[in-house]
Amino acid sequence: MQTKISQAIKDAVEAAPKRSFVESIDMAFTIRDVDLKNPANRIQEEVRLPSGRGKQISIAMFASADAAVKAKAAGIVVIDPSSIEELGSDKTKAKKMAKKYDYFLSEVPHMGLIGRYLGVVLGPRGKMPRPVPPNLDPAMIAKGLESTVMVRSRDRITFHTSIGTLSQTEDELIENAMTVWTRVITKLERGAGNIRSLHIKTTMGPSHKVEVIF
């Protein structure tokens, strides 16, 4: 599979149109013979890309006092916990916030309020905050998230995730792609036998099919 995935990545990079921004490269899976009505069969994996995501990510944290100071020092956007209920009452504002940031963190005491008022917005998007204990520097969590992507099928047979950007080398993209591929097939009962199709493409470029062998 590595040879086939490598070729698809090479083709996607070569076919990518010139853009004024750095395009992401996505890996799209379509699975088969999997009952996704059963939540236990759904794919929901956080994958650490060995070569990183190839771009900066945005992280916000619900924090106050000392935790807020630490978060700001780490380059994390701070959201005042007192605004949680207000955000929850304005779905448009809450959705805009959810779209703006890649990941969320929160001091432990605020997790209950977030779940109550913002869970309906953040939950389905896989963006519920990661709790940060008082003795842990949020910078440590943020550092790990810089190279992490979420692979989520929900109840759909087709799903995709980023494996990097055009700013990275082909070797780096291949390493990332194989890491994602391996994680996904290990979560399926029949491994690659549950993969109907696999495609790789840049954000705006054409899709390149990978022949799945098993």
Q: Residue 45: what are its φ and ψ, rounded to 5°?
A: -130, 135
Contact 103, 57 (CB under 8 A): yes
**Side chain identity, residue 151:** V
Of the residues 89, 114, 145, which one is the last residue of a structural domain? 145
Measured distance CA(108)–CA(189) in Å, rounded: 35
Kindly report the number of other CB atoms within 10 A of residue 106's CB atom. Answer: 25
> pLDDT tens digits for 54-63?
998 999 999 9
**Side chain identity, residue 128:** M
Do 66 and 101 reside in the same domain of the chain? yes
Query: Residue 164, SS3?
Result: strand
- Report the CATH number at residue 39: 3.30.190.20
Residue 127 structural domain: 59-145
Do 71 and 41 reside in the same domain of the chain? no
Burial per residue of 159-176, b for 16 or more beta-carbon CB atoms within 10 angstroms, e otherwise: bbbbbbbbebeeebbbbb
pLDDT band at residue 214 using 50, 70 and 90 as cut-offs: low
The residues, any chain, with a CB within 8 Å of residue 189's CB and separated by 6 or more, are 34
Please tell me the predicted confidence (pLDDT) of residue 157.
Answer: 97
Number of domains in the chain: 2
- Report the CATH number at residue 141: 3.40.50.790
The residues, any chain, with a CB within 8 Å of residue 67's CB and separated by 6 or more, are 61, 107, 132, 134, 138
Do 181 and 195 reside in the same domain of the chain? yes
> pLDDT tens digits for 35-56?
999 999 999 999 999 999 999 8
Do 71 and 136 reside in the same domain of the chain? yes
Write down the pTM of the prediction.
Answer: 0.84
Do 128 and 155 reside in the same domain of the chain? no
> pLDDT tens digits for 81-95?
999 999 999 999 999
Whole-number average pLDDT of the chain: 94
**Side chain identity, residue 23:** E
Do 47 and 63 reside in the same domain of the chain? no
> Of 198, 208, 201, 176, whose CA–CA distance to 32 is shortest?
198
At residue 147, does pLDDT exceed 70? yes
Measured distance CA(38)–CA(49) in Å, rounded: 28
Measured distance CA(19)–CA(166) in Å, rounded: 11
Do 42 and 100 reside in the same domain of the chain? no
> Of 56, 54, 46, 58, whose CA–CA distance to 9 is shortest?
54
Lookup: tokens for 213 = 């062998």
DSSP collapsed to 3 states, 57-123 = CCEEEECCHHHHHHHHHCCCEEECHHHHHHHHHCHHHHHHHHHHCCEEEEEHHHHHHHHHHCHHHHC
> pLDDT tens digits for 92-112?
999 999 999 999 999 999 999
